[in-house]
Structure 1
C-alpha cells in the first residue's frame, strides 16, 4: 500500500479480501493504519505536501518539504535533513 498516493483512506469494508493484509501488520503497521485515518493528521499531511518536492533515489521515494511547512513531528513522524550537493 502506498502511503503517499491519493485515494481512499481505507479499503472497502464490503470487499472480503480488502483487509487480509492486517494479519501481517507489525505494531508500526497498526500505528500507521490508525494515524492515516485521523482527520486532523490528514489535514496536516495535505498542508505539508502542498509544494513538496518528490524525487526517487536508489529505489527510495524522498519527499522534501518546504521549511515553512506544518510540523508533522507532533504525529510521531521522523524526518531527517538531507544535504544537497
Structure 2
C-alpha cells in the first residue's frame, strides 16, 4: 500500500508539473484492481501474448515494441 496521504495537498505539489502520461500513471498505480492484476500477471512468470493483450486493453496501456 502507498504511504502517501492523498488528502495532503503538499504531497502532490509535483503533480502540477508532470505530463499527462505521468499524471495518468499516478492515478492508475493507486487503483487496487490494477495493482491486483499486475500482481496476478506477474506471478505467471512468463505471461502469454494473449494475457498481455487482455491486460493492456483492460487498462488502456500501450507497450513499446521490442526488437
TM-score, length of structure 2 as denominator length: 0.61
Instruction: Show structure 1 runs of 5+ residues with no match.
Output: 1-6, 53-64
Equivalent in the alignment of 1:44 = 37
Q: Summarize the Cα distance change of 1:81–1:51 in structure 2 as closer, same or farther, 3 Å threshold.
A: farther
Which protein is richer in helix relative to its size?
2
Structure 2 stretches of 5 or more lacking a match? Answer: none
Q: Name the structure 2 match of 1:72.
A: 55
CA contact (8 A) 1:11 1:19 kept: no
Greater strand share, structure number: 1
What RMSD in Å do the two structures reach over aligned CA positions?
Answer: 2.9
SS of the residue 2:11 aligns to:
coil
Q: Which runs of 4+ in 1 moved over 3 A?
A: 12-18, 80-83
